[in-house]
Amino acid sequence: MNFNSVLDDVKIYEAGKPIELVVREYGVKESDIVKLASNENPYGTSPKVAKRIAEISKNMFMYPDDSMYELKEGLASKFKVASNNIVIGSGSDQVIEFCVHAKCTKDSKVIMSKTTFAMYEIYAKQTGATVLKTPDDEHNLEQFSKLYKENGADIIFLCLPNNPLGECVDKEDVYNFLKEVSEETLVIVDGAYQEYAAFKDANKAIDPSDLIHTFPNAIYLGTFSKAYALGGMRVGYGIANAEIIKILHKLRPPFNISTLSLAAAIEALKDESFVQECIAKNFEEIGAYETYAKEKGLDYIPSYTNFITLKLPVEYISAQVAQELLEKGIIIRDLTSYGLNAIRITIGRKEQNKRVIALLDEVLNNLSKAKVFD
């Protein structure tokens, strides 16, 4: 059977390994498994959200409010925009998909960083568009500018902060770059981890309202999967001028998030103190990894997110390190698929981080000894 030929060049996204797989394949007890691969909030969801889900579960047989009125009003109030500036997606990656399919054809060009969220490239290639990447792994806006001036683009992706590396460009530098971009080019500012960046450094903070009013060709993406601890509920959003949002709604299927997801997001938005508490703990704990990396002589990327990327020296192979940890019940992310000899570790709770660092040290020491005897 023949399929659309543009799919020949599309890679399948590799999601983080589930706990069930480790139990099944390596015989590790579920209680002994630490999953720090998918950048989930390790403190769980807000108790207020859990209570609301229990209350609303009796309505699971009903479709949700497809207008998503209450959620949009909550987001509009938070970000000082109008509700018609907002589109809701099943995760922010569904909004990415809307944007790409609204803008791209086989003749389009899409610009992104060399190492960034894999779904940008996957969605772009689904349309047959040409993907152009900067030479550097981390965001380098001078390289973005050069690529854009030489080639133009229908879409530019800026991941701020960047996943899977963790770095973040200053808002002032982003705005200076956007001044060079034609209003015919859609700029997607992915703020999935913006809550973390804004907490750590105000210079990194992107205000969605200011962004879309300053640059009418920009769309800001946010999610409830990270700081709001609703990864399993799959709720994201896009904020842009009303004209862009109107077009994206033509691509949005009806009831694209569930009754429970909608209720969870509405309630999570009300509990900002829970979110800020989780973010504060995150940056308290990230220091343990930074200290270990310095003591071990490992390079790491200063992170503005809820994860840290450790670059391994040539004597270690990241895939082997990740596999050794997996067999011990520690699930992290190997970045070999991005062309990097590096591992990405979500920042967990204190007791989780202590265990991960201890086992990581054990694995690296054992690999070093093994090489001595080779």
Q: d(Cα 297, Cα 295) in Å, to the nearest integer?
A: 6
State the residue for tokens 């770095």: 167
* pLDDT for residue 373 is more than 50: no
pLDDT band at 369 (very low <50, low <70, confident <90, very high): low
**Average pLDDT of the residues of the chain:** 94
Q: Is 224 exposed, middle or buried (0-12, 13-18, 19+ CB in 10 A)?
A: buried
Supply the pLDDT for residue 371: 56
Q: Is 54 exposed, middle or buried (0-12, 13-18, 19+ CB in 10 A)?
A: exposed
By percentage, how much of the chain surpasses pLDDT 70?
98
* pLDDT for residue 176 is more than 80: yes
* pLDDT for residue 26 is more than 80: no
- Rounded to the nearest 5°, which phi and psi values hold at 336? -60, -40
* pLDDT for residue 374 is more than 50: no
Select the more confidently predicted residue: 28 or 101.
101
State the residue for tokens 């033509």: 250
* pLDDT for residue 178 is more than 90: yes
Q: What is the second-level CATH architecture of the domain 5-44+273-372?
A: Alpha-Beta Complex (3.90)
Q: pLDDT, tens digit, for every residue of 53-72?
A: 999 888 889 999 999 999 99
* pLDDT for residue 193 is more than 90: yes
Q: How far is CA 203 from CA 173, 175, 206, in A?
A: 10, 12, 8
* pLDDT for residue 335 is more than 70: yes
Where is 111: in which H helix or E strand? strand 109-112
Q: d(Cα 345, Cα 19) in Å, to the nearest integer?
A: 15
How do the domains of the chain map onto residue ranges? Answer: 5-44+273-372, 47-271
* Closest among 228, 218, 200 to 91, alpha carbons compared: 228
**Same fold flag, 5-44+273-372 and 47-271:** no
Q: What's the whole-model pTM score?
A: 0.93
Instruction: Please give the CATH number for the structural domain made up of 47-271.
Output: 3.40.640.10
Q: d(Cα 293, Cα 297) in Å, to the nearest integer?
A: 6
Supply the pLDDT for residue 19: 79
Where is 300: in which H helix or E strand? strand 299-301
DSSP per residue, 147-205: HHHHH--SEEEEESS-TTT-----HHHHHHHHTTS-TTSEEEEE-TTHHHHHHH-GGG-
* pLDDT for residue 186 is more than 80: yes
Mean per-residue pLDDT for 287-307? 96
